[in-house]
Amino acid sequence: MNADVVPTQEPTEATRYWLGVALDVPLAGLFDYYALIPVNAGTRVIVSFGRRQMVGMVAQVKAAPDIAPGSVKAIEAVLDDIPPMSDDWMRLVSFAARYYQRPLGEVMLPALPVALRKVASYTGKGARGGPVARADKSKRKAAAVCAGDAPPLQLNPEQTQAVQAVTAAQGHQTFLLHGVTGSGKTEVYMHAAKQVLAQGRQVLFMVPEINLTPQFEQSLRARLGQVDNPDLLAVLHSGLADGERLRAWLRIARGQARVLLGTRLSIMTPMPDLGLIIVDEEHDTSYKQQDGLRYSARDLAVWRGHDLQVPVVLGSATPSLETWHNAQRGHYQLLSLTQRARAVQLPQVRLVDTRRLALEHGFSPQLLDAIKARLAQNEQVLIFLNRRGYAPVVSCNSCGWVSQCPRCTAYTILHRTQGGRTHNHLQCHHCGYHAAVPRRCPDCGDQDLRPMGRGTQRLEEHLAEWFPQARISRIDADSTRLKGSAEALFAQVHAGEVDILVGTQMVAKGHDFAKLGLVGVLNADAMLFAQDFRAPERLFAQLMQVAGRAGRHAGAGEVIIQTDYPEQPVYQALLKHDYQGFARYSLEERKAVGLPPFAYQALLTAEARALKTAVAFLSEAATLPDTAPELYPTSEAVTRYDPVPLRVVRVANTERAQLLVESDSRPALQTFLATWSADVAALATRHRVRCHLEVDPLEI
């Protein structure tokens, strides 16, 4: 053990301090230990648990243990290389654990940088005084120098009003800053942030993704007018190495850095002087964590702002319907930016009805003509297709065999591997299964196997044939697998070295392409019908965002959407850039059928070898409240639906089903879940089924 660790001695008749310790184990409740010196709540300790040593966090200092005092073990060490976690941080993680129905330890400890919650980082030869001492010794890279402070902009009246509203807020208020792409929302964030910084407080600025937009950090520094202050900003996202992440976390937690720019995980960072929270693109689904603690960073931001009595700004061109609804009923204050900040028109949207058109490899003549015209003008073109790979399936022309994943109920996707010579392979997007493309049909032996449908790779290939002069680039999860390759590809587009960009949703976010004149959208209908009740909302947001890439600086941009269903409300609203109309229509529809935001949901998902095991478990889970109604005072107000198999039932040889519970009262649902989650966990152990409960699920 090293200097930062205070060893405890064997108990004699000295006073014992009883501690409730949270551990990162899938068991509810705290674990009793004692110390011989007083230890504050929020302090990390090393304890032995079973046969292991673990880092735990003191969550409670107690007058007496819950179990027989004689069987309580002593903690093994107190970790005091950082001060105890603050009360407000403890409140935040406790709330998250309660609301999302997870054991406290499974929320508290994962919220810390890895090194602070591993016994190994404090023991052994490499410890060198512990992770904090090591981080403090290591030299930080100087922040890259950039061009200089941005010249101050004259805000327009709507922007001024928005900044004033935010900075004048007394205590907590959640604002919805609504404005199309390019309406100057970022400018509003920056002006409000500057004022908050000037008051000596910290700002938490959350964005959906960071890895793709490193230039954003630079522009943030420039806009905050503190280019040469390397201490100003800390950046946190999951792409950082553990050491970098710890250093950034420490700078924020110690109050050295004043602005935290980060993805969803940054919501759990301790910030001693937090004075403003900004959530950009608040509708973005990447604010929702999809495993472990399935939290919404956006929702936690609102909670944290309320808890700390500081303003929260949610910004979006296409707010989530939950947020819009809250603004409509006055829970949030709506701030609207109705104009684009610069005198640039919104792109013109055109719907191409593909029902009676002969398409050439998925392209309508209208779209091909438009591409030609834009290229002739030296403008850039973006072709958007939300499907990577070469073709979604390989099929036998004589017997109809299709390539399927042996481990999932899903097709395998054909991918073209660009190497010394081109060869193909099949890949499952659910489990990662890889296989060679068979030479002949496994069923009938025919050699006539053909790719069916199109992915981004195939589009790229056809475009290269049609437009041999054009420089074509593709941005999707495949082309950007290597670290840094996304940045490099985006840089090429920005530098004007690309004429046609083919991409998935990766291209929709955040980027502002100066020379982009045309956006073509293929196969949007698949997004509309393949998913759950939120599919139109998501499609609208995504297409508005892609559309926003066009003509941000140059003349009139154009967006062409190919569809078989031009009369669908989502497309009609896109034609008019009419978010409000779309939101009104969608909310009425949701209200009529009692869907969120007019109902609150939780989803229990079960995984087993066989579907019937999962379904049997869920059926029993659904009836648990009836066996002990006195423990479920609100069960009358909670609807339990029938278990259903997931759309993709089997993934990696596990079969999955889910059970939806719903209530029009959030407190009623919360009361129900508090009992139910514990009962369900016990039941799952008996059934030997893996399950997880998700509160406010985004996908059903």
- Which partner in ligand ADP, Zn ion, none is near 264 (CB below 5 to 8 A by kind)? none
Give the residue from 233, 307, 226, 231 showing the smallest Cα distance to 266.
Answer: 233
Select 394 or 544, whichever has its Cβ closest to ligand ADP.
544
Those residues whose C-beta lies under 8 Å from the C-beta of residue 154, and which sit 6 or more positions away, are: none
Minimum separation from the CB atom of position 476 to ligand ADP (A): 23
What value, to the nearest 5°, has the Cα angle with vertex 349 and ends 345 and 351?
A: 170
Alpha carbon of 507 to those of 72, 346, 538: distances in Å? 56, 19, 16
**Where does this chain touch ligand ADP (CB under 6 A) — which range of 181-189, 245-253, 410-418, 651-659?**
181-189
- Which partner in ligand ADP, Zn ion, none is near 670 (CB below 5 to 8 A by kind)? none
Phi-psi region of 310 (alpha: psi -120 to 50; beta: other; left: phi over 0): beta
DSSP β-ladder status, 423-427 and 434-436: antiparallel
Minimum separation from the CB atom of position 155 to ligand ADP (A): 5
Judge contact between 310 and 275, C-beta under 8 A. yes
**Where does this chain touch ligand ADP (CB under 6 A) — which range of 77-85, 153-161, 402-410, 660-668?**
153-161
Radius of gyration for the chain, computed over Cα atoms and rounded to the nearest angstrom: 27
Select 64 or 514, whichever has its Cβ closest to ligand ADP.
514
Tell me if 430 contacts Zn ion by CB under 5 A: yes
One symbol per residue from 300 to 339: x for binding ligand ADP (CB under 6 A), - otherwise; what is it?
----------------------------------------
Size of the site for Zn ion (CB under 5 A): 14
Tell me if 545 contacts ligand ADP by CB under 6 A: no
Tell me if 364 contacts ligand ADP by CB under 6 A: no
Judge contact between 44 and 131, C-beta under 8 A. no
Instruction: Return the DSSP state at 601.
Output: E
**Where does this chain touch Zn ion (CB under 5 A) — which range of 99-107, 157-165, 391-399, 525-533?**
391-399
3-state helix, strand, coil in the chain (%, to 5): 35, 25, 40
Q: Dihedral sign for Cα 375, 378, 379, 382, please.
A: positive
Select 278 or 604, whichever has its Cβ closest to ligand ADP.
278
Alpha carbon of 291 to those of 94, 113, 239, 534, 605: distances in Å? 18, 18, 17, 20, 12
Select 140 or 440, whichever has its Cβ closest to Zn ion.
440
- Which partner in Zn ion, ligand ADP, none is near 428 (CB below 5 to 8 A by kind)? Zn ion
Select 367 or 583, whichever has its Cβ closest to ligand ADP.
583
Minimum separation from the CB atom of position 427 to Zn ion (A): 9
Element (H, E) at 90: helix 87-99
Tell me if 635 contacts ligand ADP by CB under 6 A: no
One symbol per residue from 431 to 450: x for binding Zn ion (CB under 5 A), - otherwise; what is it?
x-x-------x-xx-x----
Tell me if 184 contacts ligand ADP by CB under 6 A: yes
Tell me if 396 contacts Zn ion by CB under 5 A: yes
Alpha carbon of 150 to those of 60, 219, 235, 516: distances in Å? 48, 8, 20, 24
Residue 410 CA to its chain's centroid (Å): 24
Tell me if 187 contacts ligand ADP by CB under 6 A: yes
Give the residue from 452, 451, 507 showing the smallest Cα distance to 477.
Answer: 507
Select 159 or 202, whichever has its Cβ closest to ligand ADP.
159
Residues forming contacts to ligand ADP in the complex (CB under 6 A) are 153-156, 159, 179, 181-187, 341-342
Residues that bind Zn ion (CB under 5 A): 396, 399, 401, 405, 407-408, 428, 430-431, 433, 441, 443-444, 446
